[in-house]
Amino acid sequence: MHLVELFLPLRDNSGAAFPKALYDSVRAELADVFGGVTAFTRAPASGLWEDDEGEVQRDDVVLFEVMVDNVDHAWWRNYRGTLEQRFDQDEVLVRATAVERL
Domain boundaries, the chain: 2-98
Distances (CA, A) of 50 to 53, 56, 59: 8, 4, 12
Q: Which ranges of the chain would DSSP assign to H, the alpha helix? A: 20-34, 73-86
Query: What are the tens digits of pLDDT across the range 4-53?
Result: 999 999 998 888 999 999 999 999 999 999 999 999 877 677 766 677 78
pTM given for the model: 0.86
Query: What are the tens digits of pLDDT across the range 44-96?
Result: 777 666 777 888 777 788 999 999 999 999 999 999 999 999 999 989 999 99
| CATH 3.30.70.120 is the classification of domain 2-98 | yes
Backbone Cα Rg of the chain: 14
User: What is the C-alpha separation between 50 and 97, in angstroms, rounded?
Assistant: 24
**Percent of residues, the chain, with pLDDT higher than 90:** 71
Distances (CA, A) of 56 to 32, 63, 90: 37, 21, 16
